[in-house]
Copies of this chain bind each other. A is one copy, B any other.
Amino acid sequence: MTKISLEMGSGGKLMRDFIDRSIVKTFSNPFLNKLADSALLPNKIGFTTDSYVVDPIFFPGGDIGTLSINGTVNDLIVSGVKPQFLSLSLIIEEGLELDTLNKILRSVKKAADEAGVVIATGDTKVVQQGQGDQIFINTAGVGSVMTEPDLQKIKSGDHIIATGTLGEHSLAIMLAREEFGMEAEAKSDCAPLNYLLPLWKKGVLWMRDITRGGLATVLSELSERLPFSIIIDEDHIPLSSPVQAASELLGIDPLYLACEGRALLVVPKEKTEQLLQEIKKDPKGKSAEVIGTVSDGTGKPGEVLLSTLSGGLRLLEPLTSELLPRIC
């Protein structure tokens, strides 16, 4: 009998297969079937949800509270929705220190203020010791639809931008777990992407936040839906030195590491320079880079090809199995 495995929550291919087979098959409807980061409801309302089970609940650069706001806010923003109201639902394990909870709630408040959203409704449940893990948080978000991104507008020659260095969130979680016998100066990139919102009106064609599964998975999911291939230049992928060093040390591909404050953008070639400058104006976007191009004739439609430092072309596959469970 098949059992649910950690891999099914990884954000990778196994998870998508499971979601396609179980969730989409059961609930099939035009809103859900798009499997976008947010659903676009009638009357220009955007709607999304995420549960956060990150372990540990505090990590360099943030905590489960920060994450539970930024993650949901970013899902709205990359869908063309201005985030406005969030719900906050807590599943607390009996025995959690009230001080710890209050610290998390203050992080939630601070992150909500920074992202300009109001916590409008909530719920609290408590489960017995050993039947949860300190705290799980769910947030759902609603906001007004500013634009409806249309994949059909993406054409050959369009550019791919990564808004910042990759993998810092995953690295921060690894370090916080102290499982890797490794020390490094790294903190999560966890942040709200509100600074990207105005770019929708300036010509951005598509956005996705780079979370579970990393850059490679986001690119694969994009290319699958395009009649083009995508070519990525390895030497333009922005990586901080701690992530580069840790990846080499542990033999991990940073293209599969998660961020919580970075996005992938598709932009029309003629607007690339202007949009890149706009992104770089914000401190969160200062390490943004043009990392690739939509089909230049190389590769088959649906493929993501990495033009490597050594001069070769490598096929990038989506994440299949979990690198790090519970990173968000």
- The residues of A with any CB-CB pair to B shorter than 8 Å are 1-10, 15, 18-19, 22-23, 26-27, 29, 31-32, 38-39, 41, 43, 45, 47-53, 55, 84-85, 87-99, 101-102, 105-106, 108-109, 112, 118-128, 130-133, 136, 138, 140, 142, 325-326
Contact = CB atoms under 8 A, between A and B. Distances in A.
Contacts of A94: 3-6
Contact of A131 (B18, B97, B132): B132
Contact of A23 (B4, B95, B96, B124): B124
Given A4-B94, A4-B95, A31-B120, 20 more contacts: A1-B98, A2-B98, A4-B92, A8-B92, A9-B125, A15-B124, A18-B124, A22-B105, A27-B105, A27-B119, A32-B122, A39-B120, A47-B121, A47-B140, A48-B121, A50-B89, A51-B89, A51-B138, A53-B91, A131-B133
B87 A53 contact: no
A121 B44 CA distance: 15
Contacts of A52: 125
A77 to B, nearest CB: 15
Given A9-B92, A101-B4, A39 B121 contact: yes
B126 A5 contact: yes
Contacts of A29: 118-120
A102 B6 CA distance: 17
13 contacts: A3-B96, A8-B92, A9-B92, A22-B98, A23-B88, A27-B109, A32-B122, A41-B85, A49-B123, A51-B138, A53-B91, A131-B132, A132-B133
A23 B105 contact: yes
A118 B32 CA distance: 9
Contacts of A325: 126-128
A87 B47 contact: yes
Contact of A39 (B10, B49, B85, B112): B85
Contact of A101 (B22, B105, B120): B22
Contacts of A127: 9, 53, 133, 136, 325-326
Contacts of A27: 88, 105, 108-109, 112, 119, 122
Contacts of A84: 41
Given A32-B119, A49-B122, A133-B131, A89 B4 contact: no
Given A95-B4, A140-B140, A123 B26 contact: no
A26 B105 contact: yes
B4 A98 contact: yes
A206 B301 CA distance: 58
Contacts of A326: 125, 127-128
B122 A8 contact: no
A12 to B, nearest CB: 12
Contacts of A122: 23, 27, 32, 49
Contact of A47 (B39, B43, B85, B101): B85
Contacts of A99: 1-2
A43 to B, nearest CB: 7
A49 B128 contact: no
A88 B27 CA distance: 10
